[in-house]
Structure 1
Amino acid sequence: MADGTTHFSRRNLLFAGGAVAAGLTAGGLSWALGAGADEQDDAGPVAAGPMAGAFDMRTGAQLLAPTPLFNATGPQSFAFDDTNGQVYVLQTVEGGIRLDGEEDPLDSGDRKTSGDMCLTRLSSSGKTLGHMYLRGFGHGISCGVEPTGQRTYIWVEGRADAESGYGRTVVRVPFKDGSVLDSSDESVRHFDPVPGSTDVSPALDLPGGRVLVSHEEDGVHRFSVYGTADFLEGRFDAAQTLRAGVQVKQEEWFQGCALYGDHVYVLTGGPYTGKSGDNPRKSGGNTYVSAIDVRTGKAQGRHHVTVAPDLVYREPEGIAVSMAGGRPALCIGFSVKAQDRRELALYRFTA
């Protein structure tokens, strides 16, 4: 959410180190792309077209009308539990509430810096089915949902940086309605696949049995792909590691990522500005979905998303793949303004 704090400037800087060349790591061993690939990467992101990876971005349709979440703040990311027909949505905790163990209510700025998040569970029609608070975890740029028997596990960032409020590790915790969970709780297991990295956030590819970790390392924004079983066993030899800058422009705001099939999908953009601003409504917005091939590290499609131009505010917030009905759909979330809160709207794009 664009709020005038330093949090968004950090997103903006994520791509600064990787805006020219693409790097790829296979099986934990670094290797260089061929000359032809280097020449393409130096040319910058590929031209916008109808396809982003496997998805036709002309097929946009509303999946969920603007829907309130448990807190009044805007959504940050979402993920699907297609087994149970549910959507889980992360947002920062709103100001003015007091959680268990707190002496006084905290304002929204303190919540963001502390990495305090609210997780809302929605039905496919947008009805609130439950919530929990994740205190000290992060900002919620992306997340994953793993239904397992009677439990549903949430994959999120953890151990929020004390200055930025963004996570430094990956955690997998069970959803427990109405609970307040601290990142420092002894029940929380932290995975640290790239020690020393910052702005860490995970996403899941359930059909492919893979974990995607977005992270910044040495000033470069990277995406690393792991087998889920290996990841849970603490084996962090990435199958692939990609630089974001092969496809995304340096000045763009990172708003989430997803992994499906042969591609990492990256969402960027900001809210509408006034007529004299750099992103007025008449421009169609600055939301883009870009795809990177995990096998080669090359750009594989980039699309200017102009769906739902009349949404009030319309800030892109989160990207995920749904497999409902057995057909994959790439879904984009928008934060929209209601009278006294922000709400989530979802749009889907099919292959």
Structure 2
Amino acid sequence: MLPVNVSRRHLFTIGAGAAAAAALAAEPAAAAEGRFQLTAPSTSLIWKKPLYDETVMQSFAFDNRNGHIYTLQVKNGSGSNAAGDLCLTKLSLSGSILGHMYLMGFGHGVQFGVEPSGSSAYMWTETDGVSDGDSSRGTRLARFKFVNGQTLTTSSSALTKHTPIPGVRNVTCTIDPSTNRLVMRYYDGSTFHFAAYNLADVKAGSYEPIFHIAQPSGLGTFQGYAAYGNFVYFLTGTAYSDDNPPPGNTYITCLDLRTGAQVQRARTEAGRSLDFREPEGMGIQIASGQPRLCLGLASGVAGARLASIFYKSQMI
């Protein structure tokens, strides 16, 4: 059953034709129709870098204005996963640690977004995590300014919380730098969905989605997503194991936000030589005015995990 404030007309459609025309007209021409070629080779951006804590990187996002990478991971310490305690690390584009924050009780960190603001940056993350005894998942979104060394709880006054769709769980988001849209992923009790909003509308407390589509099931373990133009890309797969030897089972899938159709799916062998090699997170980097579709990979041994990021830049 859909949440009460989401009508079925929003699924797989943006509604009226006038709204569609307005949404497309607001986008750069290349972003409106172009998408990344998932079979194109991948290039390394950062390779085997430590984060502030030593756990597996869960996700990452770019501040394309100020040239920074932010990552989320479960905070060091027994019980942090079930409690939803996260570590947020700020990195240079070469992977050097520039700062960190702790987010207590927020969730699992599957994906998040960064909103640049002058020389500062605001994070958009899940919050109000609910634990199943093993891990915690967010139920709302939170916006807050990155402040090096600060620890936030779910009741901190620094948070501005948003509930675009009440009563759902596994709530996460990403921000498309080409359209300034916030794309939220959530679970309604039976199906995962992606809902795209104008970021400015969400900040103003208006939650009418531009696009609203269902995520196909049965494609593997979900590990992160990114949006660019009219498309959302998501990462699936698991770490190397006896049952998943190299080159592994890491795939990128592209969905059309306008229709929900799957338009491409391809396995990636980026970072094939890494040990452990678990896919973790996606993001859009803008480099010299050109977009890059980035994917993250965790490596190393337990207690000393490392993060690598690769990108694809070929558009079709």
Residues 1:154 and 2:119 aligned together: no
In 1, the alpha carbon distance for the partners of 2:177 and 2:139 equals 23
Match for 2:55 among 73, 93, 99?
73
Conserved 8 A contact 2:71-2:89: yes
User: Does residue 266 in structure 1 map to residue 248 in structure 2?
Assistant: no
Structure 2 partner of 1:257: 225
Residue equivalent to 1:303: 266
**What is the RMSD computed on CA atoms of the aligned residues?**
1.9
Task: Report what 2:27 is aligned to.
Answer: none
1:216 aligns with 2:184: no
Q: Residues 214 and 339 of structure 1: is their aligned pair in 2 closer, same or farther, counting only changes over 3 Å?
A: closer
The structure 2 residue matched to 1:333, chosen from 272, 283, 296, is 296
Residue aligned with 1:77, SS = strand
Which whole-Å CA distance do the structure 2 matches of 1:300 and 1:262 have between them? Answer: 12
Deviations 1:99-147 (A, max 9, x none): xxxxxxxx1xx21111110000011111100001011111110011111
- Gapped regions of structure 1 (runs ≥ 5): 1-21, 30-51, 96-106
Partner of 1:33: none
Q: Write the distance in 2 (CA, Å) between the matches of 1:269 and 1:339.
A: 19
Q: TM-score, normalised by structure 2?
A: 0.87
Alpha-carbon offset, residue 303 of structure 1: 0.7
CA deviation profile, 1:275-298 (whole Å, cap 9, x unmatched): xx2x122xx210000001112211
- Structure 1 residue aligned with 2:91: 122
Does structure 2 conserve the Cα–Cα contact (< 8 Å) formed by 1:53 and 1:300? no
| 8 Å CA contact 2:297, 2:307 repeated in 1 | yes
From 169, 193, 199, give the equivalent of 2:164: 193
Counterpart residue number, 1:285: 248
Residue 231 of structure 1 aligns to a residue whose secondary structure is helix
Quick check: 1:24 aligned with 2:6? Answer: no
- The answer to whether structure 1 residue 233 and structure 2 residue 204 are counterparts is yes
2:36 is aligned, of 35, 49, 54, to: 54
Gaps of 5+ in 2: 1-9, 18-33
Counterpart position of 2:69: 87
The Cα of 1:258 is off from its aligned counterpart by 0.8
> Whose relative contact order is higher, 1 or 2, with alpha carbons under 8 Å and at least 6 apart?
1
Shift of 1:157: 0.4
CA distance in 2, matches of 1:54, 1:116: 34
Q: Deviation at 1:262?
A: 1.3
- The C-alpha deviation readout for 1:43-93, integer Å capped at 9, x for no partner, is xxxxxxxxx942343221111011000001010000011222210000000
Task: Give 1:63's aligned residue.
Answer: 45
Q: Count residues with an aligned counterpart.
A: 287
Percent of aligned pairs sharing the same letter:
35
Structure 1 residues 200 and 311: alpha-carbon distance in aligned structure 2, compared to 1, 3 A threshold? same
Aligned counterparts, 1:111-190, within 5 A: 111-163=80-132, 164-190=135-161
| 1:345 matches 2:308 | yes
- Check the 8 A contact 2:36/2:293 in 1, yes or no: no
